Chain A
């Protein structure tokens, strides 16, 4: 009796959850993609606001660089979570995946630009040397470069042109880019800090559930 009722409760909870997700999917269908873009530009707006209002702290360049890099990683992780959420949780965010990916790319580009222009002050010699010699920079740049072909082909025309299978294969580059970005975050510090370890763990988990 006890076992049957426990099974009953579990089934009831499961029904409630799937019902909730179905409802959620209904709401999600009504959210226009541009709303995701708008939401995605909030961190940039805050950053610009802080820059202009002097709210960036004692080393504004490091602040800009780190906040842009972090935001890029968050959107990369969000994009990587879309498929597992659909497969394991039936939550459908597929319509927003392109926007998430392109937002991640935009923040990554700004992150690299701040590094090149503000942090390194356009000292190309040192930058090139560092990119070769410094593993954290090598993997970081690798992650950023891997995103370029993905951003360029994030449009319907490219999917048609490449064909679905080929396009999907190309976009598997993100499986390299995301852990590389998280690794870059972990490696840049003097000591291993909890936040980058967390995100590296999440990235790896999101890849493992695909196996």
Chain B
């Protein structure tokens, strides 16, 4: 797979494929960072369809190749900041979500977008063990979903998206903590009500709907002021976390006038 270069890419050095594919939070396959790489081998991603539902003109089931044809892929090298205060740089291949939604015809009453991850406990040991309240749900405000940074990824480096990274199609929202970027998506619902995400439901005091990367708003149990870049070496120390993960120029306007300490 290849993708057109994009002006939204960072020029920071991407993490290696080995790092990106062996250090994952994907509780569908277990709590451990290496569990997704170890236990996602039996996960079947072909055939796959994504249902686009709710307040759209053309609801229905779409194949991955309809949503993100190989010829339309862009390469987006994005920083990824996990809520656990580590970060990576990942060269995604994907298409902007905005185009996909526009094609489906977003109705004027739609205000939010809800994403649902596949529920398949027979192939996902973490789901079989009920590690979280599955299926995994995430959500964005419509203007966040339509922002040109917001991506539906189907590949990384020149490969099809590996199972442990959310194959065959996942969300990437680079200015928010990683858990917002739902993986292995089977349903996208346009709605007029703010979705309740899985983490928000589990621990509302710790995980809000917005989950924007914000060095000034700490997680109640740990600081978000700095982060450790995976792959930087034993003695690299920490780097400062940037507001909106460094994507403020593109997204700060979405939140003007909002109290981000309240809307965390």
Contacts and interface: CB of A to CB of B under 8 A. Distances in A.
Interface of A: 51, 57-62, 117-123, 126, 129-130, 133-137, 187-191, 193
Interface string B233-262: 011111000000000000000000000000
B238 A190 contact: no
B62 interface: no
A102 to B, nearest CB: 27
Interface in B20-46: 22-23, 27, 31, 33-34
10 contacts: A57-B23, A58-B34, A58-B230, A59-B230, A60-B234, A117-B235, A122-B237, A133-B223, A136-B222, A191-B27
Contact of B221 (A51, A122, A123, A187): A187
B72 interface: no
Given A57-B22, A191-B132, A121 B237 contact: yes
A126 B237 CA distance: 12
B202 interface: yes
Contacts of A130: 222-223
B225 interface: yes
Contact of A59 (B86, B222, B225, B235): B86
Can you list the 3 inter-chain pairs with the closest CB atoms, starting with the nearest? A121-B237, A58-B23, A121-B238
A191 B86 CA distance: 17
A190 B202 CA distance: 10
Given A58-B23, A134-B222, A191 B237 contact: no
B83 interface: yes
A134 B222 CA distance: 6
Interface string B3-28: 00000000000000011001100010
B221 A134 contact: yes
B226 interface: yes
B18 A58 contact: yes
Interface residues of B, number: 28
Contacts of A193: 31
Contacts of A137: 222
A135 B221 CA distance: 7
Contacts of A133: 218, 223
A59 B226 contact: no
Contacts of A136: 221-222
B141 interface: no
Nearest to B223: A130
B130 to A, nearest CB: 12
Contacts of B18: 58
B22 A58 contact: yes
Contact of B238 (A58, A62, A123, A188): A123
Q: Which of B18, B33, B83 has the most CB of A within 10 A?
A: B33
B221 A129 contact: no
Nearest to B235: A118
Given A61-B228, A126-B226, A134-B223, A120 B33 contact: no
A78 B236 CA distance: 35
Contacts of A187: 221
B223 A191 contact: no
Contacts of B223: 126, 129-130, 133-134
